[in-house]
Amino acid sequence: MTARLAVLVSGSGTNLQAILDACATGHLDATTELVVSNRRDAYGLERAARAGVASAYHPLGPYREAGHSREAYDAALADLVAAAEPDWVVLAGWMHVLSAAFLDRFPGRVLNLHPALPGAFPGARAIADALAAHDRGEVGETGVMVHFVPDAGVDDGPVLAVRPVPIEAGDTLESLGDRVHAVEHRLLVEVLVDLVRQQVSATPPVAPAPASPVPGHQPTHRQRRQPMNPLNEELFDRFESLTFDDVVVVPGYSEVMPDDADTRATFAADIELAVPVVSAAMDRVTEAHMAIALARLGGIGVIHRNLTVAEQAGEVDRVKRSQSGMINDPVTLPPTATVADAEALMGRFSISGVPITAPDGRLVGILTNRDVRFCGPQDMGRPITELMTAERLVTAREGTTLAEAKAILQKHRIEKLPLVDAEGRLRGLITVKDILKASGHPNATRDRQGRLRAAAAVGVGDDVEARVDALVKAGVDAVVVDTAHGHSAGVIKAVSRIKGGWPDLAIVAGNVVTQEGVEALADAGADAVKVGVGAGSICTTRVIAGSGLPQLSAIWDCARAGRRRGVPLIGDGGISYSGDIVKAIAAGAETVMLGNLLAGTDEAPGELELYEGRRYKAYRGMGSMGALQGLGADRYASNAGGAQAGRKLVPEGIEGRVPYAGLVGEVVDQLVGGLRSGMGYAGAGNLDDLRRTARFSKV
């Protein structure tokens, strides 16, 4: 759709000419509908006339002479511009500060071009001030920026793009001005091309003239995410593809001690993490054991889908039952159960006791491991009614708080407190173990009921609804539509189907490496997007299929669309060191997904092997032959069953082993410690600051 522009100028209009030329050649898919100047002699009006563009002279003097306010002038200017129905209003050398009377009519759609770096040299003398500062030895460069104009501030607002311009020895105002203006012409057009191509604006048509100030515009999709450091634009534009080893983060002024750095991040929707670490949905990385451990550390695990629906839902159920402030749906046994039944149930869920309920749900007793501690093989057939506690059973009414429950548990010296309703039906269970776990893991990722959070991977096949339904019933907090190529019709349809059936469920989708991919998934309903094709250490997609993009460039490019759509990005693949996490987040990722670095831990499901005197754990890519022969073949557009069962699988991953790494807690502590150090070097108190202030340098 061709965009409509209104351009405001006060001088010669060279930036206007750059816009007109770009429109004429088709480089910029837009039409300039109106040019306005506050000066009669502005050559920009002549340029508009030569291009056949409507123009208007709107001077301030008559308003002042008549005693009218500046707001009245701006309101009349807004009426003039609004008549052209512009999608974007461009201030290209406009020498007046606009008030809310104008800006509130075009919320989120007014752009300004300023010949200085962000925060430096505001006002009309920016180039002269920069040259004077250089002559005093204070600066070595100036620059050009394009930014939104949200309020009446002078040359500030959310920055869209920046280009540095070196100040050379012997520069005059004329020579420096020529170089700055040349950069202005290119940068302004580049920003407009990007805005129009990506259709960034989610704003409604021009607002009607208000009788009173209009509240700020609310985007129809999601709020924009925090901007990144625009000084990195030049680096990524100069080099088409960069990965983690290609750059370093330049240390900057800092008042941040690493221990004080805030590493909180958003995974998807309202799921907040204390640390930006997500375990990969791989069958040698994440099942319940890993998901539990990582959630306690403040991250989140994505349980792989190389399992049957029932098996995967069972893994989620194990996570949700492993720790909670209150268990809303505790596992129970009927009075007819045997000791063998109780032993099996407690072993399956790693619990030390189980309530006994009648068929109508009434609580009739409780059985703990102390009751069966000395039972031998000969006792396995005994009914649990002979061993359970039934008389003087301590209970509490549903709605009891954790603090109240703690006092009851302490008073009666018991470890489990069943919660019942007025009819005596079991409604929940609070345990000492869960209270202690909660206090022992203050940063744990928990849901509103105090349970650990868990995500699970799903595919795009015919069983996706059945799998999602089972996972939701098990309590899953997010599903990850996990494919190698997320920018595809099947994935987009799957995301839309899931969002339509479960609108409150957080959905992550991927993988993509382009802005278009991010936007397609976000528009389909994804609450977060995974970025990375071929970046993993055991992924061979780039070799086998010739497809992919170096990970740092992929994250940087996708982050532009992520900010516009308000969806967080998960950098998936290519992370070898903690410094890579710093770079991934600085480039625009909200969190990182780890496979290789976690596969060697105790909590990973891979088998421990001894090789040449050293310990290793098995590891494989989900595109490896072994994984493709399981239940997740459709991740790589393969169908292990059905009509294509006879087709030969083409692996895009390998199998191998990784060194044994010990407890996942120790690994994550080291990684987060490195992230905090990087934040300290960059002067970033939180991850938004890191994305905004970190500056890359090419190695």
Give me the active site residues, please.
539, 635
Whose CA is closest to 101, among 151, 35, 48? 151
Which are the contacts of 687, defined by CB distance < 8 A and separation ≥ 6?
A: 262, 263, 264, 265, 276, 585, 590, 679
Burial annotation 93-132 (CB, 10 A radius, 16+ → b, else e): bbebebbbbbbbbbbbbbbbbbbbbbebbeeeebbebbbe
Q: Distances from the Cα of 63 to the Cαs of 39, 70, 228, 677, in angstroms?
A: 14, 8, 41, 57
Strand arrangement, sheet containing 426-431: 396-397, 416-420, 426-431
How crowded is residue 72: how many other Cβ atoms within 10 Å of its Cβ?
A: 14
| Longest pairwise C-alpha distance within the chain | 106
Residue 253 and residue 94: Cα distance in Å, rounded? 34
Backbone angles phi, psi at 270, to 5 degrees: -100, 15
Residue 74 and residue 513: Cα distance in Å, rounded? 43
Residue 319 and residue 474: Cα distance in Å, rounded? 10
Residue 239 and residue 257: Cα distance in Å, rounded? 33
Q: Locate tokens 């957080």: which residue?
A: 506
Beta bridge partner(s), residue 333:
356
Residue 441 and residue 437: Cα distance in Å, rounded? 6
- The strand pair at 416-420 and 426-431 is best described as antiparallel
| Residues 301, 290 contacting (CB under 8 angstroms) | yes
Cα atoms found within 13 Å of the Cα of residue 193, Cβ hemisphere only: 16
Structure token pair of residue 661: 């790494």
The angle subtended at Cα 276 by Cα 459 and Cα 508, nearest 5°, is 20
Cα atoms found within 13 Å of the Cα of residue 335, Cβ hemisphere only: 13
The string of DSSP codes covering 468-496 is HHHHHHHT-SEEEEE-S--SSHHHHHHHH
Burial annotation 410-425 (CB, 10 A radius, 16+ → b, else e): eeeebbbbbbbeeebe
Residue 528 and residue 510: Cα distance in Å, rounded? 9
Structure token pair of residue 529: 């997007």
Backbone angles phi, psi at 519, to 5 degrees: -65, -40
Sign of torsion, CA 399 401 407 413? positive
Rg (CA), the chain: 31
**Dihedral through CA 144, CA 148, CA 149, CA 154, nearest 10?**
-30
Residue 52 and residue 66: Cα distance in Å, rounded? 33
Whose CA is closest to 424, among 368, 365, 354, 384? 365
